[in-house]
């Protein structure tokens, strides 16, 4: 009977939107374009971001992400996804729609050039998170976080984001949004599938762990 349900769920054509999760395509031209973003121009543009994301890309409020040290590809992709409505946030949607591709690349380059936040270690228990980051969980088919996000949370080539130094509240919110599916600009649900398997406690600890990571 269990099979039956599963099967039914799997072979019914889905009626949810058939649109791709993101329109971003990493052609070499795009990669080069982002890599050659103009840091100075980005710095100027970033002045209007400072109120939320901080002067040096380090946000003071947990609801807004720090962007300092973020990989340029990732920032660029998010800005384009906001502009396309692939990622929902009323404020960012309108901000991103006002940015050209060139502006997005410049901003991405600027934020990448900034040093990520260096936060002190707290006394909170992060043992579960450490396990997730380093070992993953074979039983739940969860690869260790470091395999994509890097051993020191600096992100990796193409578009996996840097997480080290990120506001813990922001990381937790993001993972919860993936878990609920309200954030869905990860192609093939890559991150949603993972977040769905994480317990709320693990998510909380992961937020803390990445906030402290240097």
- Does 127 bind other proteins (CB under 8 A)? Our answer is no
Residue closest to 68 by CA, chosen among 202, 185, 170, 203: 170
Residue closest to 206 by CA, chosen among 115, 119, 127, 120: 127
According to CB under 8 A, which one of 48, 118, 135, 199 is a site residue for other proteins?
135
Q: From the CA atom positions of the chain, what is the Rg in Å?
A: 18
According to CB under 8 A, which one of 39, 92, 136, 173 is a site residue for other proteins?
136
Q: How far apart are CA 113 and CA 115, in angstroms?
A: 7
Token pair belonging to 132: 């997730």
Q: Choose one: 53-61, 100-108, 130-138, 162-170; the region binding other proteins (CB under 8 A).
A: 130-138
- Does 25 bind other proteins (CB under 8 A)? Our answer is yes
Residue closest to 79 by CA, chosen among 57, 53, 98, 52: 98
- Does 36 bind other proteins (CB under 8 A)? Our answer is no
- Does 190 bind other proteins (CB under 8 A)? Our answer is yes
Give residues in contact with other proteins (CB under 8 A). 3-4, 6-8, 10-16, 18, 20-23, 25-28, 31-32, 135-136, 138-144, 146-148, 151, 156-158, 187-190, 193
């Amino acid at each position: 009977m269990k099979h039956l349900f599963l099967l039914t769920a799997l072979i019914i054509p889905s009626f949810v939107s058939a649109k791709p999760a993101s329109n971003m395509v990493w052609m070499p031209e795009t990669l080069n374009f982002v890599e050659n973003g103009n840091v100075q121009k980005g710095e100027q543009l970033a002045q209007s971001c400072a109120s939320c994301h901080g002067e040096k890309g380090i946000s003071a409020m947990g609801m807004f992400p720090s962007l300092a040290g973020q990989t340029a590809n990732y920032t660029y992709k998010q800005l384009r996804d906001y502009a396309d409505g692939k990622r929902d946030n009323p404020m960012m949607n309108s901000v991103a729609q006002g940015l050209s591709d060139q502006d997005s690349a410049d901003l991405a380059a600027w934020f990448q050039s900034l040093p990520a936040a260096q936060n002190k270690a707290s006394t909170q228990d992060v043992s579960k998170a450490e396990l997730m980051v380093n070992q993953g969980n074979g039983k739940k088919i969860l690869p260790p976080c470091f395999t994509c996000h890097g051993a020191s949370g600096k992100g990796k080539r193409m578009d996996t984001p840097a997480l080290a130094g990120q506001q813990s509240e922001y990381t937790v919110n993001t993972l919860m949004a993936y878990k609920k599916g309200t954030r869905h600009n990860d192609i093939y649900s890559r991150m949603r599938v993972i977040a769905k398997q994480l317990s709320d406690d693990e998510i909380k600890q992961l937020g803390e762990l990445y906030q402290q990571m240097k």
